[in-house]
A and B are shown apart, each in its own frame.
Chain A
Amino acid sequence: EAGVAQSPRYKIIEKRQSVAFWCNPISGHATLYWYQQILGQGPKLLIQFQNNGVVDDSQLPKDRFSAERLKGVDSTLKIQPAKLEDSAVYLCASSQSAYEQYFGPGTRLTVT
């Protein structure tokens, strides 16, 4: 069974630029999550999708972050414009059950 795929793996941008991350979850997993992990901290949930719909986006900075899940499968997370404090690893996860999540390798974003 293929795992969660994410791209790119690394991205360096200047502040005020925009960036997009892509995630392909495990086939059949209805729930998809985007997390932000700052160095030295645990993953922090940004947004949770159930199929096409948003379940929770309470911690998504909506003035600059946006996310969508196309046809209930792939998802993209966008930051526009980026700030220095957005430097982090962005993790995508998917799940079939209510609890156990399967994570992708993450995208390491550096904003200079």
Chain B
Amino acid sequence: DQQVKQNSPSLSVQEGRISILNCDYTNSMFDYFLWYKKYPAEGPTFLISISSIKDKNEDGRFTVFLNKSAKHLSLHIVPSQPGDSAVYFCAASEIGANAGKSTFGDGTTLTVKP
């Protein structure tokens, strides 16, 4: 039973356009959500996060939106650049005793074409 799902294994966009990566979760105890970016032969690197008390968090070209009622979050990258080509993982964490224990989705491979 996968608690964090990224239903699109891959996404291809043109440079300069918007990239939208989606993530769904099932565990209502999740209260903190993160996006990580991974290049080949490297470990994931933290990109942006959002707490469940917010519905939007922005950092430069990256914006994460959270819809708690739908148990859905998305990562928007505007404008997309070729260097953004990587695997993006959505992760979710609980509060309390399980804080810090992140559950990851299987990732979406983003390709930004010049």
Chain A residues engaging chain B, CB cutoff 8 angstroms: 4, 31, 40-45, 48, 55-56, 91, 93, 95, 98-106
**Chain B residue at minimum C-beta to C-beta distance from A103:** B43
Q: How far is the CA of A40 from the CA of B46 in the complex (A)?
A: 19
Given contacts A31-B100, A42-B89, A98-B99, contact A104 B105 (CB under 8 A): no
Chain B residues engaging chain A, CB cutoff 8 angstroms: 4, 32, 34, 36, 41-46, 49, 89, 91, 93, 98-107
Q: What is the minimal beta-carbon distance from B63 to any residue of chain A, in angstroms?
A: 18
Sample 11 A-B pairs with CB under 8 A, ordered by A number: A41-B107, A42-B91, A42-B107, A48-B100, A91-B44, A100-B46, A100-B49, A103-B36, A103-B45, A104-B43, A106-B43
**Docked-complex contact A99 and B104, CB < 8 angstroms:** no
**Docked-complex contact A99 and B93, CB < 8 angstroms:** yes
Q: What is the minimal beta-carbon distance from B84 to any residue of chain A, in angstroms?
A: 18
**Docked-complex contact B44 and A103, CB < 8 angstroms:** yes
Residues of A within 8 A of B41 (CB): 105
Q: How far is the CA of A103 from the CA of B49 in the complex (A)?
A: 16
Residues of B within 8 A of A104 (CB): 43
